[in-house]
Amino acid sequence: MSNTEYDVIIVGGGPAGMTAGLYASRANLKTLLLEKAIMGGQMMTTTTVENWPGYPGGIEGPELMMRFQEHCVEFGLETDTGTVEQIIDNGETKTLIVDGEEMTCKAVIIATGAIPRKLGTKGEEPLVGKGVSYCATCDGAFFREVPIAVIGGGDTALEEALFLTRFASKVILVHRRDQLRGTPILQDRVKANEKIEIAWNSVVDSFESDTSGLTGAILKDTLTGETRQIEIQGMFVAVGVTPTTGFIKGLVDLTEDGFVKAGEDTQTNVPGIYVAGDNRTTILRQVSTAVGDGAVAALMAEKHITELEQ
Ligand code: NAP
């Protein structure tokens, strides 16, 4: 990759990054979007998106992202594959170290999103790919007619539990409290599904396995401390997300959990650096909010560049 100068470099190709790219390119800013893997972000491992306006009946996550990509490229957005290792603030310019090489620009939009959080229970790591998974749409079909568990009580856990009933003989939804966190409409569907059993006030205490992989788990009651064994061959962990912000630690202010501190204007504490989407401190993390952030971040970057030029 050559040392090219851009007006804006966007890091991350999910809904927030692509929308920022669309707006920035449409504003005639020379814009590059860098994505380290596949364009589309977390939406690429999502099933039907029901709450993206304009698609009654829903649209599959990957299809929606394909349309996003087509749309932003239509306005001249350049995209490339590359891992941003570091961002250096030089004041009026920013230097990005991308796969060991330097690139410069006037404004950066960080839209690196978040990745599924690990449970953190002993024995989890060696069972990843041998029964333990973080993506129902990726791995669900491996668990046909066998009992499985989904851990978590948020929207992701509820959606995954419902999706997995297509394959599994039984889905045990393990939640640490006595109330689910996810949207009421999903809660109702989960509770009405005969294949789903909810293990309330429960956490995973340990795993059971043999040479073939996961065979069961010990659940612990969070109120009484009592334990019970469940027989499962698959466990889908859906306990929230960790923001992908390790590479900007020390550059911009982060919360203890690693989210970039910024308000609705997407402005970080460093002038010319903006944050959009799931890695920003916000009350809602949806495609619609990521899209809103992307648009605002592009506008902010445009204003910043205009001020630099005055
Ligand atoms: P989330 O909303 O943060 O929920 C995480 C769940 O995991 C919570 O129920 C939490 O329990 C539980 N949990 C956290 N740490 C745990 C641990 N160590 N052990 C056991 N349980 C643990 O995360 P999410 O479901 O991944 O959703 C992330 C964001 O994306 C949310 O804003 C969500 O609304 C959004 N999303 C939206 C849709 C949609 O609109 N269709 C779909 C998916 C995700 P507590 O409830 O006790 O905290």
Q: Which pLDDT tens digit goes with each residue over 91-135?
A: 999 999 999 999 999 999 999 999 999 999 999 999 999 999 999
Grade residue 2 by pLDDT with cuts at 50, 70 and 90: very low
Instruction: Over range 216-242, report the average pLDDT.
Output: 97
Give the separation between CA 218 and CA 208, rounded to whole angstroms: 8
138 is catalytic: yes
Q: Is 32 in the pocket of ligand 1 (CB under 6 A)?
A: no
Banded pLDDT at 4 (limits 50, 70, 90):
low
What pLDDT does 47 receive? 80
Query: Does the Cβ of 159 fall within 6 Å of ligand 1?
Result: yes
Mean pLDDT of the chain: 96
* Burial of residue 224 (number of CB atoms within 10 Å: 0-12, 13-18, 19+): exposed
Whether 104 contacts 3, CB under 8 Å? yes
Q: For residue 1, is pLDDT > 50? A: no
Single out the residue of 168, 136, 131 nearest to residue 152, CA to CA.
136
**Helix (H), strand (E), coil (C) string for 88-111:** EECCCCEEEEECCEEEEEEEEEEC
Q: What percentage of the chain has pLDDT greater than the value 70?
A: 99
Domain ranges of the chain: 5-115+241-309, 118-237
Ligand 1 mutation pick, 286, 287, 288, 293, max ligand atoms within 8 A of CB: 286
Cβ–ligand 1 distance for 238 under 6 Å, the answer yes
55-75 pLDDT, tens per residue? 999 999 999 999 999 999 999
Residue 135 among the catalytic residues: yes
Please provide the DSSP assignment of 96-156 as one string.
EEETTEEEEEEEEEE---EEEPP---TTTGGGBTTTEES-HHHHGGG-TTSEEEEE-SSHH
- Taking residues 40-67, report their average pLDDT: 92
List the CATH code of the domain at 118-237: 3.50.50.60
List the end-to-end C-alpha distance of the chain, in Å, as a whole number: 31
> Do the domains spanning 5-115+241-309 and 118-237 agree at the CATH topology level?
yes
Mutate to test the pocket of ligand 1, among 176, 180, 241, 279 (most ligand atoms within 8 A of CB): 176
Closest Cα to residue 252, out of 220, 210, 280, 223? 280
Burial code of 65-81, b = ≥16 C-beta within 10 A, e = fewer? beebbeebbeeebbbee
139 given a catalytic annotation: yes
Just give the CATH number of 5-115+241-309: 3.50.50.60
